[in-house]
Amino acid sequence: MRPYILVVEDEAPLITLLRYNLEEAGFDVEEATDGEEALISVRERRPDLVVLDWMLPVVSGIEVCRQFRRRRETRDLPVIMLTARSEEADRIRGLDSGADDYISKPFSPKELIARIRAVLRRTRPSMSAEQLTFADIEMDLTAHKVTRGGRATHLGPTEFRLLRHFMEHPGRVFSREQLLDSVWGHDVYVEPRTVDVHIRRLRKALDVGRSPDVIRTVRSAGYAMELQ
Ligand code: CA
């Protein structure tokens, strides 16, 4: 199950940026653009974590957080507060309102994702992304270990990142270019063919005993992880 994150923010470009990055990181995302909508939304579907902007129209982020804490159903809802304020006093006020963590704008999506994972680890140990599972493949992200059918397999660092990406998005087809962007990073120039080499290595590493191949080659499109 993908952890469900509610993003409460009134700036459209930031919503778009957060949605894109959070979905890429394997989260399920919904948005609310003001405090009232946020309060209604959590009643309809309880998120695993709320990313809450401080400066919101109608009801401020601080007030939304206080209301979460006042209600029994949302008392322990994990909240990360976003704000342009970086003063120590404001930070303390934010945490006083009951937020679990606090991040000042501008921030990088990577930093926010790391904070989200840290809060989820603390508040929902079973939901944290420390362990990924697909069929009989298990990935321990902390210990950097991969097993298939209970047997250890050894992956190079690129194969490890590649596998992680597939396991975070099972069933989705990725082009070589998309894999290069997500797994190698935007700044690195690598030939798309390189992806094929690492896919080959990954397949070989996952070929433990008589296990079926879980990486599907999608002709002229790319690769996907699925049971075939
Ligand atoms: Ca705002």
- Hey, what CATH class is 4-125 in? alpha beta
Where in the chain are the domains?
4-125, 129-225
- How far does residue 12's CA lie from ligand 1's centre (Å)? 9
Q: Are the CB atoms for 176 and 162 separated by under 8 Å?
A: no
Q: Scanning the structure block, which residue is given the tokens 């470009």?
A: 13
The pLDDT of residue 91 is 67
Residue 215 main-chain phi, psi, to 5 deg: -100, 120
Q: What is the pLDDT of residues 113-124, one digit of tens each?
A: 989 988 887 777
- How far does residue 74's CA lie from ligand 1's centre (Å)? 22
- Hey, what CATH class is 129-225 in? mainly alpha
The pLDDT of residue 130 is 73
Q: Which residues have CB atoms below 5 A from the ion given as ligand 1? A: 10, 53, 55
Task: Determine the Cα–Cα distance for residues 67 and 88; give it in Å rounded to an integer.
Answer: 23
- How far does residue 41's CA lie from ligand 1's centre (Å)? 18
Residue 128's pLDDT band (cuts 50, 70, 90): low
Task: Determine the Cα–Cα distance for residues 77 and 39; give it in Å rounded to an integer.
Answer: 12
- Global confidence as pTM: 0.58
- How far does residue 81's CA lie from ligand 1's centre (Å)? 11
Look up residue 200 and give its two tokens: 């080959």
Q: Which residue has the higher pLDDT, 130 or 204?
A: 204
Task: Determine the Cα–Cα distance for residues 15 and 32; give it in Å rounded to an integer.
Answer: 9
CA angle 18, 123, 52 (to 5 degrees): 35
- How far does residue 67's CA lie from ligand 1's centre (Å)? 18
- How far does residue 82's CA lie from ligand 1's centre (Å)? 8
Q: Scanning the structure block, which residue is given the tokens 């606090």?
A: 102
One DSSP character per residue, 24-86 reads HTT-EEEEESSHHHHHHHHHHS--SEEEEESS-SSS-HHHHHHHHHHSGGGTT--EEEEES--
- How far does residue 21's CA lie from ligand 1's centre (Å)? 18
Look up residue 130 and give its two tokens: 């420390």
Reply yes or no on whether the pLDDT at 129 is more than 70. Answer: no
- How far does residue 97's CA lie from ligand 1's centre (Å)? 17
**What's the mean pLDDT in 117-145?**
79
- How far does residue 55's CA lie from ligand 1's centre (Å)? 4
Reply yes or no on whether the pLDDT at 223 is more than 80. Answer: yes
Percentage, residues of the chain above pLDDT 70: 90
The pLDDT of residue 132 is 84
- How far does residue 53's CA lie from ligand 1's centre (Å)? 6
Tell me the average pLDDT of the chain.
88
Q: Angle, to 10 degrees, between the axis of helix 192-206 and the axis of helix 157-168? A: 90
- How far does residue 25's CA lie from ligand 1's centre (Å)? 23
Residue 98's pLDDT band (cuts 50, 70, 90): confident
